[in-house]
Structure 1
Amino acid sequence: MKLTKRLHSCVQLEKDGRVLVIDPGAFSEPDAGLGADALLVTHEHPDHFDEGRLRAALDANPAAALWTLRSVAERLAPAYPGRVHTVGHGDAFSAAGFEVQVHGELHAVIHPDIPRVTNVGYLVEGSLFHPGDALTVPEVAVDTLMLPVHAPWNKVAEVIDYLREVKPRRAIDIHDAYLSDIARPVYDGALAALGGTDHGRLAAGEAAQL
């Protein structure tokens, strides 16, 4: 399986000529969802869910389908009957040949006065886990963890502890649009020294074979 990092929290996976895209939001490239056979969205916040990008992807490929939580599915299902699927914690499904399990229920706490929205994470091919905006620990082993490295709802100590708890073979940064280049070495050094796993990052458009 080939992983291509897109901007912010968007990732593209390729296997056997099929393409799956997770979270093509407003911070990702305008064409981030194009070419997808399957699309997954973790939650409704605009940096993960952009309706225009999803519509463009679904219009471009009439065979493409979307799997997501109810709040997002309700926005798109009427226009794409039979192609938008609602999922939640504990579900498992096949999307364009990719086997996917759903883990997690709520977005991380931003502030006690801000209501928490639903957030689901996706374990793809029993290997790669994308948690969206939460520090969900799946009840299964994770080979590659897409790590939300910097967000309004986390601090580096929590990210380090998350790595230690999940214990992936390797971690690759996502949710990094908020993090300036001048601060990256601080995060890289702390995560490499204290996270207990192989930690790295990919530039937008850079790929890795999993």
Structure 2
Amino acid sequence: MRFIKKRHSCVRLEKESGTLVIDPGGFTEPDAALGADALLVTHEHPDHFDEGRLRAALEANPAAQLWTLASVAEPMAAAFPGRVHTVGHGDTFTAAGFDVEVHGELHAVIHPDIPRVTNVGYLVDGEVFHPGDALTVPDRPVETLLLPVMAPWNKLSEVVDYVREVRPTRAYDIHDALLADLALPVYERQIGALAGTDHHHLGPGTFTEV
């Protein structure tokens, strides 16, 4: 499949059967979700869930459908009956020809005083894993890990240890909108040297085959 990096945590996956978009939130391009046949959202935080972007994509393609957790599904379901599906840990489904497994239940801890929201990760075609805002380790091998590199809830040592625990064949950075250009070479060098996998940082709009 073709993997296209959009800004922050949004990615597009394309193959003959269709286009799948994950987490077209408020930090990504306004048109990031347009043209999608299937939309997946990991959790309710606005850098991952932007209601306007999702509505525009669902209105532009009457056959498009959305899979997400209850907190995101509820405000969308009334406007798009039969097209919004609620999922949770352990669920499996097919979206636009992609086989999807759901892993994980809670957002990473930002601070003990901040309640944790639900967060799910998606393993697509047994190949590409998007964990959302958590360091979830699926109970099966992962070839391509989408790696959250910069967030209020993580630090570099945790990022490196996460890659070591998942042991993917390759890792591509996501959750990178807060990562300053000045710091990018430091992260690339440290993760590449310590994580023990093939690691890449792709700019928005860049694509590769996975």
Tell me, yes or no, whether TM beats 0.5.
Answer: yes
| Equivalent position of 1:80 in the other structure | 80
Which residue pairs with 1:158 in the alignment?
A: 158
Distance 1:172 1:45 in 2: 21
Aligned to 2:67: 67
Q: What residue in structure 1 maps to residue 48 of structure 2? A: 48
Q: Tell me how far apart the structure 2 counterparts of residues 206 and 150 of structure 1 sit (CA, whole Å).
A: 19
> What SS does structure 2 have at the residue aligned with 1:101?
strand
Distance, in Å, in 1 between the alignment partners of 2:77 and 2:154 is 32
**Counterpart of 1:89?**
89
Question: What SS does structure 1 have at the residue aligned with 2:40?
Answer: strand
Q: 1:201 deviation in Å?
A: 1.1
2:17 and 2:96 in contact (8 A); partners too: no
Give the 3-state SS of the residue equivalent to 1:93 in structure 2. Answer: strand
Q: Which amino acid aligns with 1:165?
A: E
Q: Map residues 2-151 of structure 1 onto 2, 5 A cutoff.
A: 2-151=2-151
Within 1, Cα distance between the matches of 2:96 and 2:84?
Answer: 13
Amino acid at match of 1:124: V
Question: Which runs of 5 or more residues in structure 2 are unaligned?
Answer: none
Deviation digits for residues 151-184 of structure 1, max 9, x if unmatched?
0000000000000000000000000000000000
Name the SS of the counterpart of 1:182 in structure 2. coil
Distance in 2 of aligned mates of 1:88 and 1:205: 30
TM-score where L is the length of structure 1: 0.99
Deviation string, structure 1 residues 97-121 (Cα, Å, up to 9, x no partner):
0000000000000000000000000
Q: Distance in 1 between matches of 2:91 and 2:18?
A: 22
Name the amino acid aligned to 2:109.
V
Moved over 6 A (4+): none
Provide the residue aligned with 2:193 in structure 1.
Answer: 193
Match in the other structure for 2:176: 176
> CA RMSD of the aligned region, Å?
0.5
Tell me how far apart the structure 2 counterparts of residues 202 and 13 of structure 1 sit (CA, whole Å): 14
Aligned residues: 210
Matched position secondary structure for 1:157:
helix
